[in-house]
Structure 1
């Protein structure tokens, strides 16, 4: 449930043995994150005549996204960030500004805040909506790669444990409304990175970390696989004659991370413990609200085409505005509309 979202897994208690945890991870891994798909020729809004149907972007009468009675993040969400490895100040600034833009109501339309409004539509069993407030919390820098440059899914949790139990400025422990975001630098390899995931989310095991904390991991793919995890800002070699889009913030790896971060945060908010909002009968392999819209960034998206996006004055590609920056972020599934939507949809 953490590879793209959280896939409901067997209850994890402090009584679980380390051996059982290893077995669990081998069977039920974190939900895998957004995996970009090649798209066809890019078009501008003016190039596309919108058809009669307003809901074919990923829509399907067969999609049965259901609520499974688990908790969602209805309390003001605080994002605690762990910067693992060496990060440039400029890179951190791009990611911080994306997170800060989620609650920035005054950003120009179409906005990141407008994108998050789809997440806010989801409720818990009391009818309480997911919080519209998302703010940056404390940060932890791990510049010296305390757990090495090759991480497994299990060691991801060890990194988080180190961050909340460190002797100097440990991250606060906030199981109810905290969201722990582990970001690995471009020289760190994580299990299944580039082959099947670009990021994932899950929750920590009390027997390993001491608490059940919702977390997400996203890696910088600039050195390992930009054509897979930073697409369309980088194009893999097997796609001939395709020019990559220009990234809106001048950093292919980090601009590629932004959409994955958005994907994981949306799914963590709606399915933090893998027992809330997802489609499918098997909680071990859930399909979450971002999984349903992989590769869709605008009206008409689907298959190999990302949909209608914008060109900035400098030629960069984006589909929504933040406080001071522009971003390209995938759409999300609306259970109210029963199709994928975003703030740049032509029917808004």
Structure 2
């Protein structure tokens, strides 16, 4: 549910387009992981994403994030974001219906610090409430297929940010918002803890200079780091929107969800704090999936319930 970026390292970087580097020979494969369905709903209808841009955002930053969402349902060169999402689609509800392959941004709203520059989990829900039409906001109440994402700019503090979470998802309380809606928060860590939440695009001070950071594919360490966390939370919201669908373990208050099992894993050979094999473009930027308009992203792998392995579309044959 919450995610802290795992530590990875690179001892050698490639110089040619599409080349790969290996960080570890280990791979997480386990038939013992009990990823179980608990009979709750999953997002089988068209998934409509409502973005709340909290704080001040550059247009270039918003464009990167929008392109990631657009890439989920759009064809792109292999390995693609769309193929990455196909792992999420392996999860079904009790009728056998699969999570939707149709996903898009339904509406957006800008919130210039309505609750200040320090948020808690409860005030994050208040931000969502303020954004809804029944409370004079601009976003509809969409309880069937709608997910709400509060994205905070680099100057906004969030409860547990950096120390315990880079993002989280849950559902809104009717006592606060008036409705039960799946939502997530993800923060831009560029000025607060890039070495934790934007790793491997930044490294902790105690690791330098022997471990070199990877170059961000879109040239923005904070936002490129957010992309992987957004993907993490989006996959989990879709498969466990009300915390009663897909997760491992017996405690719904601390579930191990389909992205939690694969934190820090971006390619073949990942595990034990290593990112795995990923490609580099001509500029030396690292990525593992292609998106729309020539975009490239580095997103973590997800738990495949059929193969019982963390997997992604860039896995080596």
> TM-score, normalised on structure 1?
0.86
Q: Does 1:184 align with 2:152?
A: yes
Q: Distance in 2 between matches of 1:42 and 1:303?
A: 18
Q: Tell me which of 174, 177, 197 is aligned to 1:229.
A: 197
1:198 is aligned to: 166
Given the alignment of the two structures, is residue 245 of structure 1 paired with residue 214 of structure 2, yes or no?
A: yes
Aligned 8 A contact 2:217 2:224 in 1: yes
1:79 is paired with a residue whose SS is strand
1:57: Cα distance to partner? Answer: 2.6
Provide, for residues 109-162 of structure 1, a one-character-per-residue CA deviation record: whole Å limited to 9, x for no partner: 00000000000010000000000001011101012x010100011101000000
Partner SS for 2:150: strand
Q: Residues 254-309 of structure 1, C-alpha deviation per residue, up to 9 Å, x if partnerless? A: 00000000000000000000000000111111000000000000011101211110
Instruction: Measure the CA separation in 1 of the matches of 2:53 and 2:273.
Output: 33
Contact 1:66 1:278 in 2 (8 A): yes
Q: Could you tell me which residue of structure 2 aligns to residue 274 of structure 1? A: 243
Q: Show CA shifts across 1:89-124 (max 9, x none).
A: 0000000000000001x2000000000000001000
Structure 2 CA distance for aligned equivalents of residues 314 and 193 of structure 1? 31
TM alignment of 1:156-175, pairs within 5 A: 156-165=124-133, 170-175=138-143
Aligned to 2:107: 138
Unaligned runs of 5+ in 2: none
How far apart, in 2, do the equivalents of 1:125 and 1:153 lie? 31
CA distance in 2, matches of 1:48, 1:167: 52
CA contact (8 A) 2:76 2:292 kept: yes
Distance in 2, Cα, partners of 1:343 & 1:286: 25
Deviation of 1:320 after TM superposition, in Å, equals 0.5
2:278 is the alignment partner of 1:309: yes
- Residues 49, 96 of structure 1: CA spacing in aligned structure 2 closer, same or farther, 3 A cutoff? closer
State the superposition RMSD in angstroms. 1.7
Distance across 1 between alignment mates of 2:5 and 2:250: 22
Whole-angstrom distance in 2 between the partners of 1:70 and 1:167: 29
Partner SS state of residue 180, structure 1: strand
Aligned to 2:290: 321
Residues 24, 271 of structure 2: 8 Å contact kept = no
Do the aligned residues in 1 keep the contact of 2:246 with 2:257 (CA within 8 Å)? yes
Alpha-carbon distance between aligned partners in 1 of 2:90 and 2:49, rounded to the nearest angstrom: 20
Tell whether the 8 Å contact from 1:230 to 1:252 is kept in structure 2 after alignment: yes
Would you say how many aligned residue pairs link Structure 1 and Structure 2? 311
Alignment partners' CA distance in 1, 2:224 and 2:37: 32
**1:208 aligned onto 2:176:** yes
User: Aligned equivalents of 2:135 and 2:168: distance in 1?
Assistant: 28
Q: Structure 1: any 5+ residue segments left out of the alignment?
A: 5-31
Partner of 1:334: 304
Q: Contact 1:149 / 1:187 at 8 angstroms: preserved in 2? A: yes
8 Å Cα contact 1:118/1:333 also seen in 2: yes
